Structure 1
Amino acid sequence: MQANKLVITAALLGAGWFSGGSEASVNDTLKVCAAADEMPYSNQKEEGFENKLAQLIGKALNRKIEYVFWQDPRYYIRDFLDKGLCDITMGVDKDDPRVLTTKSYYRSGYVFVSREDADLDLENWDSEVLRKANRIAFVPGTPAEVMMRAIGRYNDMFNYSQELVGFKSRRNQYVKYEPSKLVSEVASGHAELAALWGPAAARYVNQSPTPLVMTLIPDNNVRADGQKVGHHYSTSIGVRKDDPALLAQLNRVIEDYSGEITDLLEEEGIPLVDEPENDE
């Protein structure tokens, strides 16, 4: 069965399926696992930048995009993608072990968000302002938390961090920290700065009526024990492990439409960094 699929894919490649021409794909619809309400990535109104990227993928493959929306990010691969309810998922880490991953379609990093008029000296986690700030907005469970612990600021920010989600218990439930709220904390002056994933913050930084700046955090951070804490990550499309043919198609699209993909990301204001030299 898989051999037949690979033969069909090879024929499609030869026919120029990726050019958006009149040739129909084997399947007319590409089902995309997508968040129902995880902006700025995706929502049911298709307003997220990952929604736009999915539409570009669909156009390149000459397939109509159909979304299968999920509410909780913890289980959607197991309960949606693996069960065949959708074909792909946008925005997974490169080499995510749960799926086959395409070549990365962008690489970005964590940023410090601050008010432009504050003119803060923010170069890295060693910056003095981080030790003096009264409030630093961040999302628990991210590299920002690890570094907040490393510089001794996690405990004194604990209550503030809980305020940002209304003191919700984290036991057995998904607690969402809204990037828009964390950015607005900085814009309003309630927090001196935030440490956030650049793609999550960029839209709200750009839309803020109070001028804000994003400072890309270098990828050279270490914990107190000397272990590196990564801050730059590559993003890929996830495919079921039994569908290498679709993976090959998507890799071809990422290559051929790299300019259009970059344009969409830059329009969003996402800080982009180069892939490591050893990346394949």
Structure 2
Amino acid sequence: MRRLADITLLAALGIALPAHAEEPVYAPSLRVCADPNNLPFSNQAGEGFENKLAQMVARTLGWSVTYTWWAQRRGFVRQTLKAGLCDVVMGVPAHYDLVETTKPYYRSSYVFISRAERRLDLSSLDDPRLHALSIGVHLIGDDGNNPPPAHALGQEGIIDNVRGYPIYGDYRQPNPPARLIDAVSAGEIDVAAAWGPLAGYFAKQSSVPLAVTPIDDDGRFAPLRFRFAIAMGVRKGDDVLRDRLNGFIDDNKAAITALLASYGVPLVGSAQTASGGH
């Protein structure tokens, strides 16, 4: 029907058709669900490591890459992947219950980030020095669904000296979650507790030397977790694409690790998995 409509339109425009017009053959496309303003993960200019990873996958499979752009906040999976607008989310927690996940392709940790000149060398959220430092954390919402460091600090009674930075922020500005790291660079706060890939990337971009150290508290604040395995996510039941992606991960571990290292992503050897979210 679409071909007939196209032929009719061409005829109406007075454009001659070849004697034996054939349907064009298109290469399959890796249809990616992604945030257009969320470095170091993705942006519309293709500068994030998830953009680069999608290109690697597509090149290996002989496919092209297309995107459905959507702000990655609550409702992201429902409005994109589950709606059939795209087929893969390049970064989700392993065993994330809203999608079918691949095997993990990296593991990272929440970290402390501070100005290197301070030489704080923090590694635990129960460090007594945190009671006297100004601390920045990301806030997701007012329903208690905030990142693990925010909850752990509350358990330690560290509240009055904690400053929250909305993780969604002002979407009119580039990469809203980076405002937390900017606050450390500017000296507005002494230290931040943030997700490692975000902190590691923006520490590399900072004009002020910043120190990034993993939060080594897994088990101490159970059931809170600070290390997570990250996978790709496809629609439930899409085993064919999941298996292709698993094959890519198996065959390209060194290249994936090198890509992540180039973005400053702190990698850890073991991790908890998680579910829930968008």
Matches of 1:216 and 1:83, distance apart in 2: 37
Q: Does 1:263 align with 2:258?
A: yes
| 1:120-141 deviation line (CA, Å, top 9, x unaligned) | 14121121221111x2111121
> Contact 1:125–1:221 (CA<8 Å) still a contact in 2?
no
Counterpart of 1:116?
116
More displaced 10-residue stretch of structure 1: 74-83 or 58-67: 74-83
> Contact 2:135–2:161 (CA<8 Å) still a contact in 1?
no
1:18-29 alignment, distance < 5 Å: 28-29=28-29
Counterpart of 1:252?
247
Counterpart of 2:156?
151
Equivalenced residue count is 239
Counterpart of 1:138?
137
Counterpart of 2:9?
none
> Contact 2:32–2:86 (CA<8 Å) still a contact in 1?
yes
> Contact 2:38–2:175 (CA<8 Å) still a contact in 1?
no
| 1:82-101 deviation line (CA, Å, top 9, x unaligned) | 12110111110100111110
The percent of aligned pairs where both chains have the same amino acid is 36
Q: Which amino acid is the alignment partner of residue 180 of structure 2?
A: L
Q: Does 1:56 align with 2:51?
A: no
Counterpart of 1:191?
189
Matches of 2:137 and 2:28, distance apart in 1: 42
Task: Specify whether residues 277 and 191 from structure 1 end up closer, same or farther in structure 2 by C-alpha distance, changes over 3 A only.
Answer: closer
Note the C-alpha offset of 1:155.
4.3
Partner SS, residue 81 of structure 1: coil
Matches of 1:183 and 1:63, distance apart in 2: 36
Q: Which amino acid is the alignment partner of residue 230 of structure 1?
A: R
Partner SS, residue 247 of structure 2: helix
> Contact 2:106–2:231 (CA<8 Å) still a contact in 1?
yes
Q: Does 1:229 align with 2:224?
A: yes
TM score, norm. by length of structure 1: 0.79
Matches of 1:88 and 1:76, distance apart in 2: 12
More displaced 10-residue stretch of structure 1: 244-253 or 114-123: 114-123
Instruction: Point out where structure 1 has 5 or more consecutive residues left out of the alignment.
Output: 1-24, 169-175
Deviant stretches of 4+, over 4 Å: none
Note the C-alpha offset of 1:249.
0.6
Q: Does 1:68 align with 2:68?
A: yes
